[in-house]
């Protein structure tokens, strides 16, 4: 047998055999050359994508779902790539494969590996589509629980496409970062003569540190500076339906020390849309007083100290300390005060009230939460301390009932005025905090120390003797008829992402997802590492887009909570019904006009 014959009859290794140029193989290679996919990464990415389609706290349309699913899928892809790299780096060199396995691998058909890759891609796609179909059913379940119109199924197939686009963009950005790290590594190796083994981790460290410095320093400051500038312009806007008050009981009036044009957009609405004594009298059927509303905007004083001084001077000017009730309000980022809460107190006490609030930021709550939390607590502490100092100087029998209120980030700000439960009880006559963020210090302490056997969504603290948590009116009367003064109430819905979102969701299952789900939370909602964190984070911007009594909408519960905390005299079920009707009409008017 000649050499030529031997070479023509011998079979080359399977992995050296050219791949058959059929359409399927060419397609797979084309995709690989363009996308450079990691197939382990694709599998884990598909898993994360599917898990992100499981129910969260609030119903989501296809667009929000696509964004959050794309973020989760990208994280899954990165984890998959890391697992594949670790396998090749440490596991493969240490595994001694049996000769039969090695031989079988060497003799595998040339198209087999390509077929497996194609099957992985197809399986991931089918899984994503099937999960998106199931997700639309879960979304309908959530809308049914909240009494809302169902989410349309028509848009949900687009979730997969949008998610894929998000994944592609984020992976492209990550690959740019990898190239930057390699470029820095080469520079360290070639120009500074640092060995490659040291240059690689050092290059990664340099890029990470520079990126962190840029984000936390230049980029973050620049972003918030631009945001402040943009929202300060919005702060100058005045609704056509916010008219400068003429009554001396309002800040912004001609007699006020806090001038109308310094109150900000939310402050001008707050002082100009208070119920009149006549309107209150028509609801209660009794003579009423003009309620006092005091407000100091960011431009009402040069700094927080000056602002709060203006607020105290306004309380003095309006004789607020001679009223039956004085409420210190913690506002949200832009200085917003909930209309339902303000009017509830004024109606319950026949206008014999004084409400005081201040603005600490131009930014809406979502941005203010990231940049101005310290400001909110500083302002909350400063305002309450000054009000308390003036109030405590009065004879005990001449003091108004001193109440504290805050919603959302406003609750965090007003919580900042107190060191603990004893401090609250010593310095107030009642507190109502609505939809508290999970990062609230006092709220966290009360919930973590709740009575054994009680659930996180409706905890009972010390038998409810002072502090009570409620998602419905009947829960305010539980667990015991004994409720010591001052009464402290937290309103929190099981479906409110503001209450339950926390960085701890990344790697820890919270108690509220270990326990039986809340009445308006899908029984199918579960906790998954990383995924649930991003799901609940995506719920935050839409926390108030659901029906009343769910999410971050507490309007229908606030009057009951104020009645429990403030204990207004002569408060009958008939009066409560008339007040509720007035509040419903007032909120409808505000939504129409503001």
Among 314, 295, 420, CA closest to 360:
295
Helices (H) and strands (E) in the chain, counts: 22, 7
**Proportion of the chain above pLDDT 90, given as a percent:** 63
Does 529 fall in a domain?
no
Does 523 fall in a domain?
no
What's the mean pLDDT when you consider all of the chain?
87
Same domain for 261 and 329, yes or no, is yes
The pLDDT of residue 177 is 86
Same domain for 311 and 397, yes or no, is yes
State which H helix or E strand residue 238 sits in: none
The pLDDT of residue 226 is 58
Same domain for 565 and 429, yes or no, is yes
Does 29 fall in a domain?
yes
- Of 171, 193, 215, the position where a domain reaches its end is 193
Among 215, 217, 211, CA closest to 180:
211
Rounded to whole angstroms, the Cα distance separating 240 from 9 reads 92
Q: Of 333 and 380, which is predicted with more confidence?
A: 380
Same domain for 189 and 259, yes or no, is no
pLDDT tens digits for range 480-494: 888 999 999 999 999
Is there a contact between 565 and 430 (Cβ–Cβ < 8 Å)?
yes
Is there a contact between 44 and 83 (Cβ–Cβ < 8 Å)?
yes
Same domain for 88 and 176, yes or no, is yes
The pLDDT of residue 16 is 41
pLDDT tens digits for range 23-39: 666 666 676 777 788 99
Rounded to whole angstroms, the Cα distance separating 420 from 439 reads 15
- Of 135, 168, 193, the position where a domain reaches its end is 193
Q: How far is CA 137 from the centre of its chain?
A: 24
Same domain for 182 and 261, yes or no, is no
Same domain for 180 and 107, yes or no, is yes
- Of 162, 193, 224, the position where a domain reaches its end is 193
Same domain for 255 and 187, yes or no, is no
- β-bridge partners, 460: 468
Is there a contact between 464 and 478 (Cβ–Cβ < 8 Å)?
yes
The pLDDT of residue 25 is 64
Show the domain range for 454: 240-493+554-593
- Concatenating the DSSP letter of every residue in 248-287 gives TTBTTSTT-SS-GGGSHHHHHHHHHSPPPHHHHHHHHSS-
Does 221 fall in a domain?
no
Tell me phi and psi for residue 347, to 5 degrees. Answer: -70, -40
State which H helix or E strand residue 531 sits in: helix 531-539
Does 525 fall in a domain?
no
The pLDDT of residue 421 is 97
The pLDDT of residue 230 is 59
The pLDDT of residue 9 is 38
Residue 95 pLDDT class (50, 70, 90 cuts): confident
pLDDT tens digits for range 55-84: 999 998 888 899 999 999 999 999 999 999
- The beta-carbon contacts of 582-591 under 8 Å, at least 24 apart in sequence, are 582/275, 582/279, 582/283, 582/343, 582/347, 583/340, 583/343, 583/344, 583/347, 583/555, 583/559, 586/275, 586/339, 586/340, 586/343, 587/339, 587/340, 587/555, 590/273, 590/339
Same domain for 13 and 133, yes or no, is yes
Rounded to whole angstroms, the Cα distance separating 524 from 512 reads 13
Rounded to whole angstroms, the Cα distance separating 192 from 209 reads 19
The angle subtended at Cα 494 by Cα 491 and Cα 499, nearest 5°, is: 65
Same domain for 27 and 92, yes or no, is yes
Same domain for 421 and 273, yes or no, is yes
Rounded to whole angstroms, the Cα distance separating 349 from 509 reads 44
**Which alpha helices (DSSP H) does 146-245 contain, by range?**
157-190, 196-213, 220-235
Rounded to whole angstroms, the Cα distance separating 255 from 527 reads 56
Residue with tokens 């840029």: 214
Among 491, 325, 464, CA closest to 407:
491
Q: Is the pLDDT of residue 368 over 80?
A: no
The whole-model pTM stands at 0.86
Same domain for 82 and 7, yes or no, is yes
Does 514 fall in a domain?
no
Is there a contact between 301 and 266 (Cβ–Cβ < 8 Å)?
no
Q: Is the peptide bond before 438 cis (omega within 30 degrees of 0)?
A: no
Q: How many domains does the chain have?
A: 2
Q: What are the CA-CA distances from residue 409 to residues 108, 340, 383, 438, 571 (Å)?
A: 63, 17, 16, 10, 30
Question: Helix, strand or coil for residue 404?
Answer: strand
The pLDDT of residue 214 is 65
CB proximity list for 392: less than 8 A, separation 6 or greater = 399, 427
Among 557, 555, 549, 546, CA closest to 142:
546
Does 516 fall in a domain?
no
> Could you tell me if residue 435 is left (phi over 0), alpha (psi between -120 and 50 degrees) or otherwise beta?
left
The pLDDT of residue 12 is 41
**Which alpha helices (DSSP H) does 87-156 contain, by range?**
99-106, 112-145
CB proximity list for 323: less than 8 A, separation 6 or greater = 289, 292, 352, 353, 354, 400
Residue 395 pLDDT class (50, 70, 90 cuts): very high
Q: How far is CA 140 from the centre of its chain?
A: 22
Rounded to whole angstroms, the Cα distance separating 410 from 278 reads 30
Does 540 fall in a domain?
no
- The beta-carbon contacts of 2-7 under 8 Å, at least 24 apart in sequence, are none
The pLDDT of residue 270 is 96
């Amino acid at each position: 047998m000649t050499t030529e014959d031997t070479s023509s009859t011998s079979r080359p290794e399977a992995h050296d055999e050219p791949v058959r140029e059929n359409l399927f193989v060419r397609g797979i290679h084309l995709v690989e050359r363009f996308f450079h996919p990691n197939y382990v990464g694709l599998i884990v990415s598909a898993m994360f994508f599917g898990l992100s389609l499981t129910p969260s706290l609030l119903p989501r349309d296809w667009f929000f779902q696509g964004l959050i699913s794309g973020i989760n899928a990208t994280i899954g892809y990165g984890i998959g790539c890391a697992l594949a790299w670790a396998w090749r780096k440490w596991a493969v060199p240490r595994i001694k494969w049996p000769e039969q396995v090695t031989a079988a691998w060497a003799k595998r058909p040339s198209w087999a590996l390509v077929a497996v890759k194609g099957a992985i891609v197809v399986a991931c796609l089918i899984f994503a589509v099937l999960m998106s179909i199931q997700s639309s059913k879960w979304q309908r379940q959530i809308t049914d629980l909240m009494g809302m119109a169902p989410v349309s199924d028509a848009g949900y197939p687009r979730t997969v496409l949008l998610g894929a686009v998000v994944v592609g963009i984020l992976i492209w950005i990550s690959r740019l970062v990898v190239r930057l790290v390699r470029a820095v590594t080469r520079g360290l190796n070639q120009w500074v003569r640092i060995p490659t083994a040291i240059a690689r981790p050092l290059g990664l460290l340099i890029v990470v540190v520079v990126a962190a410095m840029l984000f936390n320093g230049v980029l973050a400051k620049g972003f918030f500076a631009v945001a402040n500038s943009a929202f300060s312009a919005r702060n100058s806007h005045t609704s056509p339906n916010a008219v400068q008050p003429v009554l001396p009981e309002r800040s912004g009036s001609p007699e006020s020390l806090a001038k109308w044009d310094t109150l900000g957009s939310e402050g001008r609405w707050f002082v100009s849309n208070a119920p009149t004594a006549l309107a209150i009298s028509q609801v209660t059927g009794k003579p009423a007083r003009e309620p006092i509303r005091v407000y100091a905007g960011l431009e009402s004083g040069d700094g927080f100290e000056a602002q709060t001084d203006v607020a105290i001077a306004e309380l003095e000017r309006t004789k607020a300390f001679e009223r039956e009730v004085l409420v210190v309000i913690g506002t949200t980022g832009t200085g917003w005060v909930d209309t339902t809460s303000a009017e509830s107190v004024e109606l319950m006490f026949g206008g014999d009230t004084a409400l005081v609030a201040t603005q600490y930021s131009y930014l809406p709550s979502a941005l203010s939460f990231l940049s101005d939390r310290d400001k909110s607590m500083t302002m909350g502490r400063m305002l309450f301390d000054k009000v308390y100092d003036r109030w405590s100087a009065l004879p005990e029998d001449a003091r108004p009932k001193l109440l504290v209120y805050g919603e959302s980030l406003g609750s965090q700000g007003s919580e900042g005025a107190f060191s603990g439960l004893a401090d609250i009880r010593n310095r107030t006559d009642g507190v109502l905090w609505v939809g508290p963020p999970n990062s609230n210090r006092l709220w966290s302490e009360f919930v973590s120390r709740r009575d054994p056997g009680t659930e996180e969504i409706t905890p009972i603290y010390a038998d409810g003797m002072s502090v009570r948590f409620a998602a419905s009116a009947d829960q305010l009367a539980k667990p015991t008829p004994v409720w010591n003064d001052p009464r402290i109430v937290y309103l929190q819905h099981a479906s409110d992402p503001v209450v339950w979102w926390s960085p701890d969701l990344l790697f820890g299952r919270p108690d509220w997802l270990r326990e039986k789900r809340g009445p308006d939370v899908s029984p199918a909602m579960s906790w998954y590492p990383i995924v649930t964190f991003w799901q609940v984070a995506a719920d935050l911007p839409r926390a108030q887009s659901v029906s009343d009594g769910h999410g971050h909408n507490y309007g229908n519960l606030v009057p009951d909570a104020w009645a429990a905390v403030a204990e207004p005299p002569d408060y009958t079920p008939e009066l409560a019904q008339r007040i509720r009707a007035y509040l419903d009409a007032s909120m409808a008017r505000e939504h129409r006009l503001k």
